[in-house]
Amino acid sequence: MAPTGINAEVAVAVGPLADVETEVLAVPVFEEDSPDVLARLDAATGGEVGRLRTSGEFTGELYELAFVPVVSGAWRAARIALVGAGPRQRVSSERVRKLAAAVSLNARKRHVARLAFCLCGELPQDEAAQAAAEGLMLGEFDPGLYKNEKRLGAPPAYTVAHEYGDRAALAAAVTRGRLLGESSNLARALANEPSNVLTPGVFAERAAALAEDAGLGVEVLDEQAIAALGMGLLLGVARGSDEPPHLVVLRHDPPGAPERPVLGLVGKGITFDTGGISLKPSAGMERMKDDMAGGAAVVCAMRAIARLGAPIRVVGVVPTTENMPGSRALKPGDVLRSASGKTVEVVNTDAEGRLVLGDALWYARELGATHLVDVATLTGACVVALGKVTSGLFGAPEWWVDRVRRTALRAGDRAWPLPVDEEYFEQLKSEIADFANSGGRPAGAITAAMFMKQFAGDRPWVHMDIAGTAWLEEAQPYQPKGATGVGVRTLAELPFTWREWS
């Protein structure tokens, strides 16, 4: 795996922009910024910034970019990059994050060696600085892992610049943002890996290596240990594949942490989802290599949680297997017994995510989790409901769902709640077992959540369906096609909000 964005430095500069020593100084410009707001930049560039603005060549439209050489000897940057920031009143930390990512991605293509990004707008300074650092790191991600010819230059040296403010506070925010951006990139790299490389065994190994480096407690359960725990749902899904399943367990146990709460993070780790005997159509099936994106989010969030020194105990549980139609595979109508004792009629072998997550949620409870969050590329129905913009949120009680939603919004992972009322359980009725693993087409995202609720017990629990948000189909100015790293920053920020839980 490429050391994507790892060990990149992000410096902080506080003071006049003219003093920022860099190659490219990126300055966000809002649509309504008049030429006089830009007067200083105009002077630095011998009138070129004003000319671009007046002629309409640069309008401030979102993600517009113009590179202008600096001619004034009073400035230490070689060039200024004007960055279109859209309307001023729409500025948010998410917008800063995306602007920084767009600049960083573009600078990388231009082989820029040193890049500084200026904070803009009236946002709280540390929030903006963290978002900028996250964006700079996200822009550095190189999706061409197996290309012989690298199209991108080496990552530049980054600086986050602000004209005034508390240097120590800005530096702390930037360090945090750097780590979260880097952890998101690690999750993206894992989810982009093809399934012939990233088998369940390799996924578990890489997860363990990342976690050990970060100082987490690590345990990887093999098929025998999984069987000893009675995890019939996870074993059932794994039957169709020659690759044995694994269960990755990560622990963050900071000295002096209170006994509770214990946050339990659970992620779907299907390294490839063919659908099994309920085989998927072949068109677009290649994307199913990212069916472990939720698991990668949990692993990489745990890494960030350890490195950031989160103040509470956190356990991460990632069940990983392939969903294959081998000759010993699950067949529709098969009945499985879960580790919790509940029995499941498998009416559709393509509804495998909820099976492996059912056993994993139960295990997170066994390990003492008092609050649960699971993240999974779980249903096409969620993509139908919310598209590729917003992840689905499900769970109970409402305050816990809302806590996760607000954390996700700040982290740049938009999510919106859907109901999980008891009536939906009707759709999972089975004649032969406690319930079935599919409720058919109506409310498909909700019945999937309803299935998992059976394994969350009475703990506060949230399920985040990232089927629509884990993968970007079309390149954007701020992000190439492929895995997005959704969920990493949300999960990593969540333990820091623990005093507001209840």
Which one of the spans 28-36, 144-152, 298-306, 371-379 is the region binding ligand BES (CB under 6 A)? 371-379
Q: Is 134 in the site for Mn ion (CB under 5 A)?
A: no
User: Is 382:303 a contact under the CB 8 Å cutoff?
Assistant: no
User: Angle at Cα 241 formed by Cα 240 and Cα 243, nearest 5°?
Assistant: 155
Q: Is 291 in the site for Zn ion (CB under 5 A)?
A: yes
User: Is 321:200 a contact under the CB 8 Å cutoff?
Assistant: yes
Question: Which residue's Cβ lies closest to Mn ion?
Answer: 350
Q: Is 291 in the site for ligand BES (CB under 6 A)?
A: yes
Binding partner at 430 among ligand BES, Mn ion, Zn ion, none, C-beta below 5 to 8 Å by kind: none
According to CB under 5 A, which one of 140, 142, 193, 273 is a site residue for Mn ion? Answer: 273
Q: Is 192 in the site for ligand BES (CB under 6 A)?
A: no
Smallest distance from the beta carbon of 66 to ligand BES, in angstroms?
38
Query: Smaller CB distance to ligand BES: residue 200 or 353?
Result: 353
Burial code (b: 16+ CB inside 10 Å, e: under 16) for 88-101 equals beebbbbbbbbbbb
Residues 229-268: x where in contact with Zn ion by CB under 5 A, - otherwise, as a string: ----------------------------------------
Q: Scanning the structure block, which residue is given the tokens 């954007």?
A: 476
Q: Scanning the structure block, which residue is given the tokens 């970060």?
A: 214
According to CB under 6 A, which one of 28, 444, 480, 487 is a site residue for ligand BES? Answer: 444
Smallest distance from the beta carbon of 486 to ligand BES, in angstroms?
12
User: Is 36:44 a contact under the CB 8 Å cutoff?
Assistant: no
317 beta partners: 249, 266
Q: Is 427 in the site for ligand BES (CB under 6 A)?
A: no
| Distances from the Cα of 35 to the Cα of 17, 55, 65, angstroms | 17, 11, 17
Q: Is 381 in the site for ligand BES (CB under 6 A)?
A: yes
Bin 397: left if φ > 0, else alpha if -120 < ψ < 50, else beta: beta
According to CB under 5 A, which one of 48, 243, 273, 322 is a site residue for Zn ion? Answer: 273
According to CB under 6 A, which one of 126, 350, 374, 413 is a site residue for ligand BES? Answer: 350
Q: Is 353 in the site for Zn ion (CB under 5 A)?
A: yes
User: Is 455:357 a contact under the CB 8 Å cutoff?
Assistant: yes
Which one of the spans 10-18, 62-70, 332-340, 379-387 is the region binding ligand BES (CB under 6 A)? 379-387
Size, binding site for ligand BES by CB under 6 A? 16
Give Cβ neighbours of residue 55 (< 8 Å, ≥ 6 apart). none
Smallest distance from the beta carbon of 200 to Zn ion, in angstroms?
14
Binding residues for Zn ion restricted to 171-190, rule: CB under 5 A: none
Torsion of CA 473, 478, 480, 486, to 10 degrees: -70
180 backbone dihedrals φ, ψ, rounded to 5°: -70, -40
Report the catalytic residues: 280, 354
Smallest distance from the beta carbon of 471 to ligand BES, in angstroms?
7
Task: Please state the three-class secondary structure of 124-172 as a single string.
Answer: CHHHHHHHHHHHHHHHCCCCCCCCCCCCCCCCCEEEEEECCCCHHHHHH
Smallest distance from the beta carbon of 480 to ligand BES, in angstroms?
19
Number of neighbouring beta carbons within 10 Å of residue 223: 17
Binding partner at 345 among Zn ion, ligand BES, Mn ion, none, C-beta below 5 to 8 Å by kind: none
According to CB under 6 A, which one of 380, 396, 406, 472 is a site residue for ligand BES? Answer: 380
Q: Is 350 in the site for Mn ion (CB under 5 A)?
A: yes
Across the beta sheet with 334-337, what order do the strands follow?
A: 334-337, 343-346, 435-436
Q: Which among 351, 342, 345 is positioned nearest to 323, based on CA atoms?
A: 351
Q: Is 467 in the site for ligand BES (CB under 6 A)?
A: yes
According to CB under 6 A, which one of 195, 438, 479, 490 is a site residue for ligand BES? Answer: 438
According to CB under 6 A, which one of 22, 379, 391, 454 is a site residue for ligand BES? Answer: 379
- Distance of alpha carbon 321 from its chain centroid, rounded? 21
Which one of the spans 82-90, 300-308, 348-356, 443-451 is the region binding Mn ion (CB under 5 A)? 348-356
66 beta partners: 82
**SS3 of 338, please?**
coil
Binding residues for Mn ion restricted to 414-473, rule: CB under 5 A: none
Binding residues for Mn ion restricted to 96-125, rule: CB under 5 A: none
Q: Is 290 in the site for Mn ion (CB under 5 A)?
A: no
Q: Which among 290, 243, 244 is positioned nearest to 271, based on CA atoms?
A: 290
Whole-number Å distance between alpha carbons of 139 and 479: 7
22 backbone dihedrals φ, ψ, rounded to 5°: -165, 175
Please compute Rg for the chain using Cα positions: 24
Query: Smaller CB distance to ligand BES: residue 22 or 271?
Result: 271
E-state strands within 152-276: 157-162, 217-221, 246-252, 262-267, 269-273
Residues 13-52: x where in contact with ligand BES by CB under 6 A, - otherwise, as a string: ----------------------------------------
What is the contact surface with Zn ion in residues (CB under 5 A)?
270, 273, 291, 353
What is the contact surface with Mn ion in residues (CB under 5 A)?
273, 350, 352
What is the contact surface with ligand BES in residues (CB under 6 A)?
273, 291, 348, 350-353, 377-381, 383, 438, 444, 467
